[in-house]
Amino acid sequence: MNLLGVDDISKEQIEGIFQIAEELSQGKCTRSINESAVLALLFEKPSTRTRMSFEAAMEKLGGSAVYIDAKSTQMARGEPLEDTARVMSFYSDFIVVRMNHHEDVLKFASSASVPVINGLSDMAHPSQALTDMYTIGIAKKRVKGIRIAFTGDIAQNTANSLILAATKLGAQVALIGPKNYPPNSKYLIRAREYGVVDVYDDLKEGLANADIVYTDTFVSMGFEDEAEKRRKMFAPYQINAETLAYASSGAQVMHPLPAFRGEEITADVIDGPRSLVWEQAKNKLLLAQAIILYLSEKRA
């Protein structure tokens, strides 16, 4: 079993991962991995939280982790992904990949003989979405019926994965962004098969009744050449004290980080009392452990 995208796993499997996370958080988890198990991380893009959470998770579970910068491998000289996947499977028990193109994640996984986890591609970020939904469930004591508003760049990987995870688990989603920059149609259509996803270009209208206000950087990795254009286009969707007031009185704020204060979110909001951002970041370690344990059990 792999974790390449949220659409690859069922609601029951997501809940199974959450159950392990809850056991871990309460110190009641009796599950384990082989102490000689190795987690390999093959990354084409920079990473802070995803890399460190999975490395630390494997160490805390009793195994070991090996980080590999793709630029330092023979991939940089043209070695096929398929060959790299086969060989890495000989040396490791789990592989986390972060790749520029989602097609490469799929290609890599198809040739690997151990579980592969997508640590982010241009289309998906499944471990982040699971962390987000787990965090919401803990903060709100439920997920079903919660309304999540995602603002700004609503066509990027985090948004794609979040709308699938949210609707699978019974939450509603409002995507709020410019009319000329709509959400990814493939992921939107799929998410609407599971539940409610509304799309707005008006921030005040879209934030109405939101229980969770979620934003992300306006300039995702790979779009640095469009930075100024994107900042200008998404500026009206900034989350600040004034715009947060459009949401429900008990609304809380989320951001997967890295955050750029003064752009997509202001410092007083991300560092304020209604921010779940730091719980969200902390929970990445918990969910990384839970994902590894879950995949280990499915492999056994």
CB environment 78-108: b (16+ within 10 A), e (fewer): eeebeebbeebbeebbbbbbbbeebebbbbb
Q: What is the pTM of this model?
A: 0.95
Residues 164, 268 share a domain: yes
CATH for 162: 3.40.50.1370
Q: How many separate domains does the chain show?
A: 2
pLDDT surpassing 70 at residue 3: yes
Q: Which pLDDT score, from 0 to 100, does residue 29 have? A: 85
| Any domain includes 1 | no
pLDDT tens profile 170-180: 999 999 999 99
CB 230 within 8 A of CB 218: yes
Q: Output the six-digit token pair for 72.
A: 């330092």
Average pLDDT value for residue range 31-60 = 96
Residues 254, 215 share a domain: yes
The residue to which tokens 């000289």 are assigned: 77
Residues 288, 258 share a domain: no
Q: Which pLDDT score, from 0 to 100, does residue 218 have? A: 80
Q: Which pLDDT score, from 0 to 100, does residue 222 have? A: 67
Q: Which pLDDT score, from 0 to 100, does residue 242 have? A: 97
Separation between Cα atoms, residue 248 and residue 300, nearest integer Å: 45
pLDDT surpassing 70 at residue 300: no
**What percent of the chain is predicted at pLDDT more than 90?**
90
Q: Which pLDDT score, from 0 to 100, does residue 273 have? A: 97
Is there a cis peptide before residue 80, judged by omega within 30 degrees of 0?
no
Q: DSSP letters of 1-62? A: --BS-GGGS-HHHHHHHHHHHHHHHTT-------TT-EEEEEESS--SHHHHHHHHHHHHTT
Residues 136, 114 share a domain: no
Residue 111 CB coordination number (10 Å): 17
Residues 135, 72 share a domain: no
Residues 166, 75 share a domain: no
Confidence of residue 299 (pLDDT cuts 50, 70, 90): confident
User: Which ranges of 64-122 would DSSP assign to H, the alpha helix?
Assistant: 81-91, 102-111
From residue 156, how far is each of 29, 48, 62, 221, 280 by CA, in Å? 35, 19, 35, 10, 19
CB 188 within 8 A of CB 199: yes
The bridge status of strand 197-200 relative to strand 252-254 is unpaired
| Any domain includes 59 | yes
Residues 219, 93 share a domain: no
pLDDT surpassing 80 at residue 219: no
For residue 143, give its domain range.
Answer: 126-280
Q: Which pLDDT score, from 0 to 100, does residue 210 have? A: 98
Residues 132, 94 share a domain: no
